[in-house]
Chains A and B, each alone.
Chain A
């Protein structure tokens, strides 16, 4: 079975600006991939390349095994898309938007859109110009889901949604993934990605700096340990443990950061009397910030 999304060496330059450089990533059917990065990192550029709104400078991208440019019509028939900066027609109602987008997809069946709207507590009968930002976003979500797409490409989908609606939206994502849809979700809300994504891709300055399972990313990430020694002060040599850095001593407590395996630390502690060890496991935010504190690529 073809990947829902696959890119190889995907690059996009705007003049001298390298908005995206040599990006390799894939999204498999039934998988949710979170795409993280700060503003201007290249998330939206990647998405716009996948939709054939812009053309790559180098590399290639496929959706459902089809070239995004040569087969863009077939791809867009099977993809649901939510733009990062959603714009709608102010005088049209939510339902009229669904009818219009549905007609462009060759259907007048808006039952799925209505069902999505109901779950998100959206009144489709009101003109969009009268809706709040969050409710406009719900209209966008309804139009993205309405033709039961095999791939969902969503750019910052939960902007403006309240926490309860976000939860419902995450349910929609999981259900779509369970039915086999590949979902590519750009976001800067780390908790959201952590909650729903199977894998996470982190982009910085147009380059992919990480792409793996969240659990693997966490396991590989530096961990901070707080060690309470029984002695009046931590024994000598703490700072010399392989893989340990950023050691801070406060009374009997040593706080340190361990890169990679924790085994050398455990072996060192076995030689001393220890009252307690507190493991501050890195959350996605710390991992994310660690990638961004490494300076420019």
Chain B
């Protein structure tokens, strides 16, 4: 049954938009990975990369060797594009979860049924999580095919764990949008807060090596804990992931707590 729960209904309702997301991400992965073969072993390019100004290196994925498979994937996808797209997906779904239904007026119809507000938010969270998981899975499959074809020797397990970093980062921003939407009832506020946090987090993290203030505040940025290089290169990363998981839980709990105590908007 396609509409047996808030979770199922939420996923089903937005099923058509997945096609666009899948197509866009597959295209992005192909055009990002395909050029790697022609740059690999190009000494002139390697020298050029070595001499790039620090700010350019910072904004394209940090200090890692940009022409290594891990550095290439990180610079082209994991440092900016995938965090941006995964967060955009999750923020949109998160903001729609409670605040969107409240603005549309459908929230009252659903909550007139015997359904706890907490459960409603958690099912919405699960629908965001399942949707983003599908997006991440398709992206990973596209990466598996294209990195193999391009001769990149990056273990697919490492790509999967890097994808998990992207997933958790996106889910943090999605949980924040869902939580703010649940707490306030305003979709615009939910999108604005989550987007500002995402942009500020990216700026802090990417400028940390160049600017002392950003370096001191870097721990506040969720991007700090979603660095794809450790998982891509097989280094330890579980501590970072647990920070993201804890942040997701906190955003969700605060949102649920406030949603349960406030008046619904008419």
B17-52 contacts to A (CB < 8 Å): none
Contact present for A88 and B109 (CB under 8 Å):
yes
Chain B neighbourhood of A103, CB < 8 A: 1, 3-5
Interface string of A54-87 (1 = CB under 8 A from B): 1100000000000000000110110101010111
Contact present for B112 and A51 (CB under 8 Å):
yes
Q: Count B-side interface residues using an 8 Å CB cutoff.
A: 22
By beta carbon, the residue of chain B nearest A85 is B105
* Selected contact of B263 from candidates A54, A81, A100, CB within 8 Å: A54
Q: Is B110 an interface residue (CB 8 A)?
A: yes
Q: Is A268 an interface residue (CB 8 A)?
A: no
The binding surface of chain B is classed by DSSP as: loop
Contact present for B106 and A104 (CB under 8 Å):
no
- In Å, the complex CA distance between A297 and B3 comes to 48
Contact present for A96 and B111 (CB under 8 Å):
no
Contact present for B13 and A91 (CB under 8 Å):
yes
- In Å, the complex CA distance between A54 and B1 comes to 32
* Selected contact of B110 from candidates A54, A96, A104, CB within 8 Å: A104
Q: How far does the Cβ of A17 sit from chain B's closest Cβ, in whole Å?
A: 13
- In Å, the complex CA distance between A101 and B113 comes to 7
Q: Is B215 an interface residue (CB 8 A)?
A: no
Q: Is B189 an interface residue (CB 8 A)?
A: no
Contact present for B3 and A99 (CB under 8 Å):
yes
- In Å, the complex CA distance between A194 and B17 comes to 49
Contact present for A100 and B9 (CB under 8 Å):
yes
Contact present for A83 and B109 (CB under 8 Å):
yes
* Selected contact of A104 from candidates B13, B115, B264, B266, CB within 8 Å: B115
Interface string of A228-240 (1 = CB under 8 A from B): 0000000000000
| Given known contacts A44-B266, A74-B114, A105-B114, A83 and B1 CB-to-CB distance under 8 angstroms | no
Q: Is A170 an interface residue (CB 8 A)?
A: no
Q: Is B171 an interface residue (CB 8 A)?
A: no
- In Å, the complex CA distance between A55 and B13 comes to 31
B91-108 contacts to A (CB < 8 Å): 104-106, 108
Contact present for B105 and A86 (CB under 8 Å):
yes
- In Å, the complex CA distance between A105 and B114 comes to 6
- In Å, the complex CA distance between A108 and B3 comes to 10
Contact present for B263 and A55 (CB under 8 Å):
yes
Contact present for A96 and B3 (CB under 8 Å):
yes
* Selected contact of B112 from candidates A79, A89, A96, CB within 8 Å: A79
Q: Is A119 an interface residue (CB 8 A)?
A: no
Q: Is B229 an interface residue (CB 8 A)?
A: no
Q: Is B142 an interface residue (CB 8 A)?
A: no
Chain A neighbourhood of B13, CB < 8 A: 89, 91-92
Q: How far does the Cβ of A2 sit from chain B's closest Cβ, in whole Å?
A: 18
Contact present for B104 and A87 (CB under 8 Å):
yes
Chain A residues close to B by CB (< 8 Å): 44, 48, 51, 53-55, 73-74, 76-77, 79, 81, 83, 85-89, 91-92, 96, 99-101, 103-106, 108, 140, 143
13 interchain pairs, CB-CB under 8 A:
A53-B108, A73-B114, A76-B114, A83-B112, A86-B105, A86-B109, A87-B108, A100-B3, A103-B5, A104-B5, A104-B115, A108-B4, A140-B109
